A and B are shown apart, each in its own frame.
Chain A
Amino acid sequence: MTAPPLAPIHVTAWSATSALGAGRAAQLAGVRDGRCALRPPCGVDFGYPPLAALPETVVGRVDGLETPLPASFSRWDCRNNRLAWAALQPDGLLAAVRAARERHGPARVAVVMGTSTASIAVTESAYRGLGAGEALDPAALAPELQSVDSLTAFLQEALALHGPGLTVSTACSSSAKVFCTAERLLRLGVADAVLAGGVDSLCASTLFGFHALELVSARPCRPFDAARDGINIGEAAGFALLERGTGPRQLLGYGESSDAHHLSAPDPEGAGAERALDAALARAQLAPSAIDHLQLHGTATRLNDAVESHLLARRYTAATTASSSKGMIGHTLGAAGVMGSAFCWLALETGDVPGTINTREPDPALWPHVALEPLRRDVAVAATHNFAFGGSNCVLVWADGAASHHQSEGA
């Protein structure tokens, strides 16, 4: 398969909300301060009461999601959509979407969202109210919310966007893969603007599910640390408006691949991940050394960081500043791809690169060039790794389209 270079598309507006706070400024302040926003979980987010015990851990929680959605959207009300709605407000994003709608027409604006949890917390809650042998009442669980598509469908309605709507749900690569779909929609002329992004929210399924897999750390996670012992679940939302043209946040390349190895354990050599990296670099017509900043997948599980380290050692040099944001906001699962990209956009805009917060003793067995402290540097090209359950890999390469020193160096 040949991967043609991309016709230029770029992010014309964006915003993100995580445990660091609402909007771009809060993410940037968190990056500069190297702030760990992880805190002990509130039982109410996971169905307590009646749950007797939560796993010992910390989570990346977004505050202020207790207010229901505006009455006109009440049928979509759930924590995931409240987070989505809150994250649309900062940074003039709503106005930018409205302007794109007017510029291109509502049928020419697509909505492509990644999520793993969607509104499953509503289903969990409905089940907690059931007696033995009792069937769920549609009043307790509306069909709209018993759907992984509830996020995309809500956004299409709330923003009055009539272009194609699609939800990608490939676990932790979901909201990275949305940018690949967005690029295809734009390149083939199916849409003139795409609202792409992802939202994942705290719920029992992911906390207890990852706990069952023995992948949840009892303390703030430490990516690439010798003592790393698992992830912290986080919630976040990020959105980008993509349109054709060049700009300071241009999508230069992307690669998607499968491990074909195991549902939860990555291929130990990282061969599947490398395939995604190769495809992204080929499209971008860049060598790995051209990547100034890399947002690692860096989940802080024993296995992920070891496998990612193999890949780093084979393909990258100390010329790339690599770090993981998971110690600040946790692993935001279905939103991890868009958050990784958000930290790339920030780095491209400001030169501020996140540190790998909480990591104190880098594992001597791993790639040695992971940045522990936040720093400032010239960033003309930034990339993000995303590796998911199901062996689903996605690598994105973002660049400042105005910068000149990332011209083709061959891949």
Chain B
Amino acid sequence: MAGGAYLHGPAFVAPAIPDWQALADAMARDELPATTGGRLPRPELLAAGDRRRAPASVALALEAGRMALAAGGHTGAALPSVFTSAHGDLAIVDTLCSTLATTPLEVSPTRFLNSIHNAPAGLWSMATANRQATTAVTAGRYSFATGLLEALLQCAADDQAVLFIAYETVAPERLRRTVGGRVPCAFAMIVSSQDAPASVASFSWSLDNRGAGCHGPRTAPGRSLADTGMDNGMAFIEMLALREPGVCPLPLSGGQVLRLDLAAGDARPVAPPPSGSTGSQ
């Protein structure tokens, strides 16, 4: 019930945080970036005409994925992918439910399609001409850790590299008291059983019962971004950005934790992660 993975091309995007380096710099300075007023990224993978119209979920997820591939030296067509999000696209939920409440026969077919949880995953496969498996998962406030677990399982089960993308949108005014989140953002990375020149870190993972030690992010930018469905995942992202090795336990639903032991920075892993399947058969 444990495994290991190399990590390629971490990527992050939010309004006012254009890329991974900008996030790492802000966290290193412990300085809050201007997270309000910034614009959502334009998803470069889409045709020019579609970029402006792309829903926030699609713009965030596709941009993070594109940057992770570029940084990790991968081409899009080769990797299966796992998309995770606690809330999907809240602006679309808001618009769809508003229309359904008043003029349901006028629901926009495009908006309905974009409301499905795997719309970003489907658009990703189209934009990268990728026929590998994609999946779209959720686990409420545990979505980051649970999606990462799914990516690690796919990586270990079939000895392959897997693209992991976590994204969250913000709640429009009407949903704000029900659903938290003030900053839209997306994180992406590739987990692989193989070391490669593009590997920036490695970690071992295991599941155990939840105990002490779960912590949130410590920097101001980390804390401001954790005010989204990314929740505990931001603590892991922060350790990665600050190149701080150590243990990061991420709570899962049910009561266990996904314990990540990060060997970060330029250091090679102390012991190579096991390849292929692990644990009892």
Contact = CB atoms under 8 A, between A and B. Distances in A.
Contacts of A123: 93, 97
Given A163-B254, A209-B115, A261-B126, A53 B134 contact: no
A51 B98 CA distance: 13
Interface string A195-210: 0000000001100111
B88 interface: yes
A57 B106 CA distance: 17
B157 A107 contact: no
Contact of A213 (B112, B129, B157): B112
A107 B1 contact: no
A120 to B, nearest CB: 8
Interface string B117-142: 11101110110111111111111101
A277 B82 CA distance: 20
Among B104, B107, B277, the most chain A Cβ lie within 10 Å of the Cβ of B104
Given A134-B174, A168-B136, A184-B154, A208 B104 contact: yes
Given A51-B104, A208-B100, 19 more contacts: A2-B159, A107-B255, A116-B116, A127-B100, A138-B178, A146-B179, A147-B86, A149-B139, A153-B139, A156-B253, A164-B252, A164-B253, A165-B139, A166-B137, A205-B100, A258-B132, A389-B118, A391-B126, A392-B122
A126 to B, nearest CB: 8
Contact of B97 (A2, A53, A124): A124
Nearest to B83: A170
B133 A143 contact: no
A156 B146 CA distance: 14
A259 B118 CA distance: 13
B173 to A, nearest CB: 6
A152 interface: yes
22 contacts: A1-B158, A107-B209, A127-B101, A146-B175, A149-B253, A153-B139, A153-B253, A164-B149, A165-B146, A166-B137, A166-B150, A170-B118, A184-B154, A188-B1, A189-B278, A204-B100, A208-B112, A212-B109, A212-B112, A214-B109, A258-B125, A389-B118
Contacts of B128: 260
B131 A258 contact: yes
A258 B104 contact: no
A116 B138 CA distance: 11
Contacts of A161: 254
A187 interface: yes
A130 interface: yes
B87 interface: yes
A389 B131 contact: no
Interface of B: 1, 3, 80, 86-88, 93, 96-98, 100-101, 104-105, 107-109, 112-119, 121-123, 125-126, 128-140, 142-143, 146, 149-150, 153-154, 156-160, 173-180, 207, 209, 252-256, 277-281
Chain A's interface size range is 35 or more
Given A205-B100, A264-B113, A149 B281 contact: no
Contact of B254 (A111, A169, A213, A392): A111
Contact of A257 (B96, B132, B174): B132
A188 B279 contact: yes
B153 A184 contact: yes
A264 B118 CA distance: 11
A204 B153 CA distance: 35
A335 B121 CA distance: 20
Interface in A1-26: 1-4, 7
A209 B140 contact: no
Contact of A169 (B136, B158, B207): B136
Contacts of B153: 181, 184-185, 188, 190
A171 interface: yes
Contact of A209 (B109, B174, B209): B109
Contacts of A59: none
Contacts of A167: 137-139
Interface in A255-292: 256-264, 271-272, 275
A164 B138 contact: no
A156 B112 contact: no
A390 B134 contact: yes
Nearest to B84: A166
A47 B195 CA distance: 54
Contacts of B252: 164-165
A190 B279 contact: yes
A181 B149 CA distance: 10
A184 B157 contact: yes
By Cβ-Cβ distance, the 10 closest A-B pairs, closest first, are: A189-B279, A390-B122, A209-B112, A256-B133, A169-B117, A258-B125, A189-B280, A127-B97, A390-B118, A165-B253
